[in-house]
Copies of this chain bind each other. A is one copy, B any other.
């Protein structure tokens, strides 16, 4: 079975690619290319999979999951500028597509610190940039 939990966070970003000319940046990103940046209230959804524990009836201890997501992801991106303050995004355009890959990678790398082998599995993340756009990546699509 699966459990999905949802976390809000606010951050600033600017869409700008060093691989593209100024004109091309404007053509591709429009107002999102504004040099001063803009921002969003993002929603992060984390889905985990497994079987409930026979004694507790829980797939995962919710506070442990919250702690994991907070340490591995939210503490690095809440109230920050994604272009300037996130090491892994410095050479990437901080589109929500790239942000999703970075988050999924963080979660996958840090998972073992929080959960024992064979217990609950990380299954998928979704990021809502606005209510009308969401991006989703499966744990097995994480790069590298």
Q: A10 near B40 (CB under 8 angstroms)?
A: yes
20 residue pairs bridging A and B, Cβ less than 8 Å apart: A1-B97, A1-B100, A1-B101, A1-B136, A3-B133, A4-B134, A5-B133, A6-B133, A8-B131, A10-B130, A12-B39, A17-B57, A31-B78, A36-B81, A38-B39, A38-B79, A40-B40, A41-B41, A57-B94, A58-B97
Interface of chain A, main secondary structure: mixed
Q: Which of B61, B133, B135 contacts A28 (CB 8 A)?
A: B61
- How many interface residues does chain A have, given as a range? 35 or more
Chain A residues engaging chain B, CB cutoff 8 angstroms: 1-8, 10-13, 15, 17, 19-20, 28, 30-32, 34, 36-41, 52, 54-59, 61-63, 78-81, 84-85, 92-95, 97-98, 100-101, 130-137, 141
